[in-house]
Amino acid sequence: MEIVVIFSLVVGILLLNRPVTLLVQRLYTKHQFTRFVEQEAFYHTVVSRYFKYYNRLGLGEQRKFLFRTWLFQHAKNFHYIEVQETAEMPILVSAAAIQLTFGLEKFKLNYFDDIFILRDDYHYGFYSRPFMGHVDQTGIYLSWDNFMKGIAGETPNCNVGLHEMGHALAYVNFVTQTEEDKHFKTEFPNFSKVARPIFTSMQQSEGAKRNILGDYAATNYHEFWAVAVEVFFESPVQLRHELPALYEAMATLLNQDPLSFVAGNTTIMRHPLVSRSLIA
């Protein structure tokens, strides 16, 4: 009899686990949304100043973008190295992550608890060349000077925020497998069917600029992916013109198309997610 009771309790806990988890998540989200609304106007002011992407969204999608930015920021510890912290910094960095993941269900890059913001170029490990940013097991690193130049449009096709968030997205899906997005993981092999031949061709080429992605994309496949992310958002018209198959593969993989915006009526997502909540 005792065994039957224990077995029944275990089964009951297993059956209730998912509903209880979903309820806790909903309550947490509701609480966070209440806090977010108090700061929504400030977030809008900060993000709209630099993100053309955000400004082209409809009002409903803008609110969803800002709430995801809030959730991302409050899930991270931001560290400032030789740079003066401001209230705008974590918002803008978080917004770069949300731009990249806006068409996906998973967007918090949950493996990474820490984001490090450095003043400008820095040296890392045994590399002789300076870094603008990097991602490793300890966190996401960004040089603020280069980050701001990227979101301000001062460095064409060079957006260190998008670049490093691209690395982080691949990291959580394929290295740590801690926040796997079903759509992203399913579509990545299809993306690679298009991207790998382009990457291989670039590595075999010599001389000046090989295509719109530039020489750095030929360094290795990880960099090819991160550069493709930058160019997809920074120069979508040129990328679609020069490498149409790659553009289409990127749009399908990220479930969004920067060229599908319609003024006042956003159609950015290729395949709307099942849940239409603010964070889905």
| Domain membership flag for residue 130 | yes
Number of H helices, E strands in the chain: 10, 4
pLDDT for res 209:
54
Mean pLDDT for the chain overall: 87
Residue 273 has pLDDT above 70, yes or no: no
pLDDT for res 37:
93
* Stated pTM of the model: 0.85
| Domain membership flag for residue 104 | yes
For 24-61, letters b (16+ CB in 10 Å) and e give eeeeebeebbeebeeeeeebeebbeebbebbebbbeeb
CATH code, domain carrying 32: 1.10.472.150
**Structure tokens given for 131:** 């870094």
Number of domains in the chain: 1
| Domain membership flag for residue 264 | no
Phi, then psi, of 48 in degrees rounded to 5 = -65, -20
| Domain membership flag for residue 202 | no
**115-132: per-residue pLDDT in tens?**
999 998 877 877 778 888
* Strand, coil or helix: 7: helix
Q: Rounded to an integer, what distance in angstroms lies between the CA atom of residue 61 and that of residue 56?
A: 10
Place of tokens 């700061």: 39
| Domain membership flag for residue 265 | no
pLDDT for res 272:
58
* Strand, coil or helix: 136: strand
Indicate the pLDDT class of residue 179, thresholds 50, 70 and 90: confident
Indicate the pLDDT class of residue 28, thresholds 50, 70 and 90: confident
Q: Show the domain range for 170.
A: 2-184
What CA dihedral angle connects 206, 253, 132 and 124, to 10 degrees? -90
Residue 215 has pLDDT above 70, yes or no: yes
| Domain membership flag for residue 45 | yes
pLDDT for res 87:
97
Residues 79 and 115: beta-carbon distance below 8 Å: yes
| Domain membership flag for residue 224 | no
| Domain membership flag for residue 203 | no
Q: Rounded to an integer, what distance in angstroms lies between the CA atom of residue 225 and that of residue 214?
A: 12
Residue 264 has pLDDT above 50, yes or no: no
